Amino acid sequence: MKVLSVVGARPNFVKIAPLMAEMRKHTGIRPLLVHTGQHYDLEMSDSFFQELGIPQPDINLEVGSASAARQVAQIIERLEPVLVAERPDIVVLVGDVNSTLAGALTAVKLGIRVAHVEAGLRSFDRTMPEEINRVLTDAISDLLFASEPSGVENLLKEGRPANQIFLVGNVMIDTLKTCLGRARQLEPLGDPEIGSENGSDPPAGFALVTLHRPSTVDNACVLRIVWQALEEIGKAIPIVFPVHPRTRKRLRDLGLELMGIAPPFARPNGIRLISPLSYLRFLHLESLATFVVTDSGGIQEETTVLGVPCLTVRENTERPITVTEGTNTLVGLDPERLKEEARQILCGKGKRGRAPALWDGQAAQRIVETLQQQLPAS
């Protein structure tokens, strides 16, 4: 069985790692990996492959940065001859980035079966680029692997056949459980910008922040009010903020980019901006944080399993189980709500959740077993 997987961005790498590891255990499976090059620099790509033990891609399409439409078009153009030459039994796609949609479109046009891992997640917000990618990919996939019950419900409502939908759990949590021990052994952190006054460990209590979505950082008014709320929170607890390259540019445009001006946590606003971190170093910080402020989808899931309160700066989430069962709270774009929820956490009233069913580190095993069961019937 030839299984060709397509990845292109950091969230993909975290999700594909356990799948590649599981497929390599089976002599009856020949896994191939295609990297589109959507994220191509060291922090965004190479370090993740090294830390997560992902084999070097069999093919790198080297697409690079571009507008969404151009990126999808270039991936289709470069991926098509690869699929024609390899003729895999199935193309496996993870997540909701441009590479995911492009891989699905290319495969289905060639009559190759498609499996989508993390299927059915819906924010019901069509202004989110990821939502369009999710909906379209699910519409043309043959096997749909859902990470939570809401995914199954959404797919059924959209008319997808029940016999193509499989609730398997969350592959991101497979990676977290595999890597958490190694991440916690990273001492000192190796980056004096993160450390406390002695330059090694982070302070005893700190908040971790990530912001990268266009709806958050590309709107100057929104970014400014979120920043002002973070400044207020930073007076009560130090903040560590690994900054996405696009976010850094937006902060610089607003005159808010302060990296490298003062010692760690020595500013009145308590915010320490640092460069993007590798997966293990970020996971280390995430596991130690008092709470996390984010607009990321995956971090909502990770904090739920880590038991760390998460304040999500979004009006919606495609991962509702992190709110109903996990540690996640949607604060929207309301700075007062963000500050109040942070105060509640600092008063010892942070949200306590639990890991959802099947978020047990065995999702990749269930997916590969299903692939083996389903493909012989094709």
Contacts of 185 (CB under 8 A, 6+ apart): none
Please name the amino acid found at residue 199: G
Rounded Cα–Cα distance for residues 205 and 196 (Å): 10
CA 366 to each of CA 7, 173, 354, 355, 363: distance values in angstroms, whole numbers, following the listed order: 20, 13, 21, 18, 5
Strand pairing report for 143-146 and 165-167: parallel
Q: Which of 102, 88, 159, 148 is nearest to 121 (CA)?
A: 148
Contacts of 89 (CB under 8 A, 6+ apart): 1, 2, 3, 112, 113, 375, 378
Catalytic residue list contains 284: no
Rounded Cα–Cα distance for residues 69 and 76 (Å): 11
Beta bridge partners, 329, equal 311
Cα 40 to chain centroid, rounded: 16
- Which listed residue (35, 39, 116, 212) is catalytic? 212
Contact, 339 vs 229, CB < 8 A?
Answer: yes
Rounded Cα–Cα distance for residues 181 and 179 (Å): 6
Residues belonging to the active site: 212
